[in-house]
Structure 1
Amino acid sequence: MASDFLVDGGRIMAMRRSRGLSRRILANLVGCSEEWLRLVEKGARPLDRLSTVMRIADVLRVNDLSELVGGPITLPATGDHGEYDEISQALLFPRLCADEVAESVHRVHRHVSSAWEIWQRSPRRYTELHRRLPALLLMAETSARLAKAADQEAGAANLAQVYRLFATLLRSSGRHPLALLAADRAVAAATADLLLPAVTRAELAEVLIHLGRYADARRLCLAATELTADPSTTGTCYLTAALATAEENDLLQTEELLNRARKIGDRLGAGRADFLTEVDLHTVVVAVRMGRYRQAIRLAADIDAARLFAKDRQARYFLSLATAHTMDRDPEAATAMLRKVVETCPEELKYSPGAGRVVQQLRLLDCETTRGELREIARLTA
């Protein structure tokens, strides 16, 4: 599984002993077999579901998962439902339809496709998905569980896509620990689909980048390229791996990964010009992440972001350029980029942590010509 690297079973064993619990008692409290737990503790079997890690952490009274997981990850405890919004509750406290009536997998697929369309195109995508996703997850879980044998793969694919939506929304909102949980579940649900095993791993890698797990993210993406024969999916994995490598300031490896993606775009040809645009945009974002702000600005001069179908990606690109212009001490150009974000999706300024940081940095520059407009933009981030 994608998240095999997350847990060291020896840590679980040490903490169990420090709490005075036998292996049998912990296994009973978690809801697993004693033999399974023994294999996990000895490192003979991977603990590949973050939700199971959370159950173990809850029993062992561990609030900071970095004590069990190989990295700085803190997920909310699973005790009081009232502390969380509907998105958090849907992930942390899964439930099933009481009347056991399931929508057909085909109908669920239409709802999932509609939700992705909203995320990629709607100026109110954050609000809309916050409203829709809890019910959509409940629908997908019930449909997948009750699907006929012939529809089980399609039901699992629907569920994986819903978890991907959760992960994308939470990651974009800066809620990375919960995004990690959603991305992990997407990987687990995607095993039967031809494309989803690679796509869900790329999403998980994006979350790991935000958590500072750059090497893990790169390894995950490169492994995912072996799981699909679809060129654009392979290219997406290379682009995400390049973002992770850029965070480690490894210029040569980053350029190699971008070149691999660009070669795929060249082979796809004019029919997939949008993918080459994706490569160009990632090249700019990579330059920003490596602190090469003027290079990013020069590269951006030849890019038409409007060629991208997905407005969420356009908004992320404009935010990266706003950062570049801000760090280059050009508040007017940076404010112009924020204006493009507002035109693309005003909610980006409210929900994206990166937008708030750019606005704060621009206000510190205190440019007289942009002061009034920044006040208006700042209201959108409140």
Structure 2
Amino acid sequence: MPSDATPDPYADPLKFGQRVQILRERRGMSRSQLADFLDISPHTLKKIENGQQQAPGLDMVMRIAEALRVRDLADLTGRADTHVDLFIGPGHPRLAAVKAAIDTFPLASGVEPPPVAHLEARLQAAWKARHQAPNHREVIGKLLPDLIRDSQALVRHADSAIDRRAAQALLAQTYSLSQFFIAYQPDSSLLWRVAERGMIAAQDSEDPHTIGVAAWLLAQAHRDSGPRHYDAADAVNEEAVRFLEPLLPDATDDVLAIAGALEFELGYTAARRRETGTAWRHWDKANRMAARLPADYYHPVTSFSQAIMGAHAVTVAVELHQGGESVRQAARADEVAIPSRPRRARHRIEEARGYQLDGQPDVAIATLEKAHRAAPETIKYNGYARRLILEEVESKQVARRRRAAELAVEVGILAA
């Protein structure tokens, strides 16, 4: 065996444990924090990291991968046959074209910018299509290259300060749509470019709602990068909340909704830290803001609304690893329909995580099947769903294993 060959963690548990420790430290997590996420004692985790305990079974390996946000399961196990991207979905066929449009900056372009009203109408149609289509990445991926080109041209050809600010607002909105397409695809640097350019364009627009949306997306990019970036996510969210707060007494529905979405994001990050009181306090505040919105209102970007608060409660409970509370909140949330197909699928995935935490794996798989029916592309690119399905593919219960395997084939995790 060559000296540089990757060791088998199941044959050499010390090597597996070392990987766990290295990945934990890279994420900026203490041993106590990771043990808390895994519902084991710090002493047990220490034994795993020191190789004093046999490498755990697949269930614990997947839980460790989720807690450490491991992108590729092989990074944790060291086994080439476990090469599975957990939190990065497959590259979409339209990713290359979208990336080329984002990375192209023609200094002397012959592109004639469209009228502002025309571009606004196209963006509204694109957001509507995203919420209605089960294959939303395909739909918006087809539209994005032209939207990016035209919104950039509109900024370049702006004749006045007012026109330029309006054009920057549309460019920021285009970058926001792009971030939804790029998220969880194998190009994290492209995601960061889009998030940062969106924030710059939003600031140049001087439009409060546009700035709030860009901040909401930038904060998510920070948070999804791991625990070491939670403080940066909070800083972006808090700054945006302070910026919008003076406007709230007389705010439009859109401004009030983005402020509520930012407030919830603070709760989401607190839940990731396992700060129970802080997480629910922010959820309560966001819920009061949602109550000020019309019952049929639905924010076109964030989905913030009265209807979404039940789904948000499930997410908080799941991130706090409160299985029973997750199930209770899921029962309440199901009373309200979520109009957006991808957001509805995302909610089903969060419900499935809650059922898994509550020891109901069969219900979790059934709930993931609902997510797949609502929006196949959402579950295909969601790391939590992929992890849960793979875990149940190894179930000792024959019926559950078969059902999970069938879903894994439909999602594209396993070959038919």
Aligned to 1:221: 237
Distance 1:87 1:381 in 2: 23
- Distance of 1:147 and 1:328 partners within structure 2: 56
Deviation of the 1:142 alpha carbon: 0.8
1:372 paired to 2:388: no
| Aligned counterpart, 1:121 | 132
1:51-90 paired onto structure 2 within 5 Å: 85-90=96-101
Does the C-alpha gap of structure 1 residues 325 and 94 become closer, same or farther in structure 2, counting only changes over 3 Å?
A: farther
1:274-309 superposed Cα distances (whole Å, 9 cap, x missing partner)? 723322211110111121122101111111375222
| Selected match of 2:122 from 106, 111, 115 | 111
Q: 1:306 to 1:345 in 2, by over 3 A?
A: farther
| AA in 2 matched with 1:184 | E
Partner of 2:317: 287
Structure 1 CA distance for aligned equivalents of residues 238 and 309 of structure 2? 17
Aligned residue for 1:233?
258
Q: Which residue of 2 aligns with 1:179?
A: 191
Asked if 1 retains the 8 angstrom alpha-carbon contact of 2:280 and 2:316, the reply is no
Kept in 2, the 8 Å contact 1:221–1:238? The answer is yes
Give the alignment partner of residue 194 of structure 1, picking from 178, 202, 208: 208
Task: Tell me what 2:275 maps to.
Answer: 250
TM-score normalised by length of structure 2: 0.67
2:351 is matched with 321
Q: Which moved more, 1:267-276 or 1:228-237?
A: 267-276
Q: Work out the CA distance in 1 between the residues paired with 2:339 and 2:107.
A: 35
Given that 2:349 and 2:371 are in contact with CA atoms closer than 8 Å, whether structure 1 keeps it comes out as yes
Shift in alpha-carbon separation, 1:145–1:275, aligned structure 2, 3 A: same
- Preserved contact between residue 183 and residue 200 of structure 1 (Cα < 8 Å): yes
SS of alignment partner, residue 306 of structure 2? helix
TM-score w.r.t. structure 1 length? 0.72
Query: Residues 347 and 380 of structure 1 are in contact (CA less than 8 Å); yes or no, is this contact kept in structure 2?
Result: no
- Is 1:163 the counterpart of 2:188? The answer is no
**CA 372–220 in structure 1, closer or farther in 2 if over 3 Å, else same:** same
| Aligned CA distance change for structure 1 residues 95 and 116 (closer, same or farther; 3 Å) | farther
Report Cα offsets for 1:157-189 as digits up to 9, x if no partner: 110011001112222547544222211111111
8 Å contact from structure 1 (residues 321, 337) kept in 2: yes
Report the number of matched residues.
Answer: 299
Pair 326,374 (structure 1): closer, same or farther in 2 beyond 3 Å: same
Residues 24-73 of structure 1 show CA distances to partners (whole Å, capped at 9, x for unaligned) of xxxxxxxxxxxxxxxxxxxxxxxxxxxxxxxxxxxxxxxxxxxxxxxxxx
CA drift of 1:269 comes to: 5.9
Matching residue of 1:204: 218
Unaligned runs of 5+ in 1: 1-83
AA paired with 2:220? E
2:157 maps to 1:132: no
1:308 to 326, 329, 338: 338
Partner deviation per Cα, 1:216-266 (whole Å, 9 max, x = no partner): 112211211123333222111101111111111111211111111112123
Distance 2:335 2:132 in 1: 14
Letter in 1 for 2:316: V
Report deviation, 1:366: 4.1
Amino acid at match of 1:292: Q
- Which consecutive unaligned segments of at least 5 residues does structure 2 have? 1-94, 248-254, 299-303
| C-alpha distance in 2 between matches for 1:177 and 1:359 | 28
Q: Provide the secondary structure at the position in 1 that maps to 2:123.
A: helix
C-alpha RMSD of the superposition? 2.2
Report the Cα distance in structure 2 between the residues aligned to 1:195 and 1:114, rounded to whole angstroms.
Answer: 19
In the TM superposition, residue 353 of structure 1 has moved relative to its aligned partner by 2.7
CA distance in 2, matches of 1:184, 1:328: 38
Letter of the 1:310 counterpart = S
Paired with 1:85 and 1:301, the residues of 2 have a C-alpha distance of: 41
Per the alignment, residue 50 of structure 1 pairs with none
Equivalent residue number for residue 264 of structure 1: 289
Give the whole-Å Cα distance in 2 for the aligned partners of 1:174 and 1:121.
25
**1:361 Cα offset (Å):** 1.6
Contact 2:134 2:376 in 1 (8 A): yes
Q: What is the letter of the counterpart of residue 392 of structure 2?
A: L
Pairs within 5 Å for 1:352-371:
352-371=382-401
Larger RCO of the pair (alpha carbons < 8 Å, separation 6+):
2
For the 8 Å contact 1:176–1:210, the answer to whether it is kept is no
Cα displacement string for residues 68-96 of structure 1 (whole angstroms, at most 9, x for unaligned residues): xxxxxxxxxxxxxxxx8223333334346
Q: Residue in 2 aligned with 1:45?
A: none
Cα distance in 1 between the residues matched to 2:342 and 2:138? 14
Q: How far, CA to CA, are the matches of 2:296 and 2:368 in structure 1? A: 31
- With over 3 angstroms needed to count, the CA separation of the structure-2 counterparts of 1:128 and 1:97, relative to structure 1, is farther
CA–CA separation in structure 1 for the residues paired with 2:211 and 2:177: 15
Counterparts of residues 339-350 of structure 1 (less than 5 Å): 339-350=369-380
2:186 and 2:358 map into 1 onto residues whose CA distance is 25
Compare 323-332 and 230-239 and name the one that shifted more.
Answer: 323-332
* Aligned equivalent of 1:144: 155
Structure 1: distance between partners of 2:224 and 2:150: 30
Q: Which amino acid aligns with 1:301?
A: A
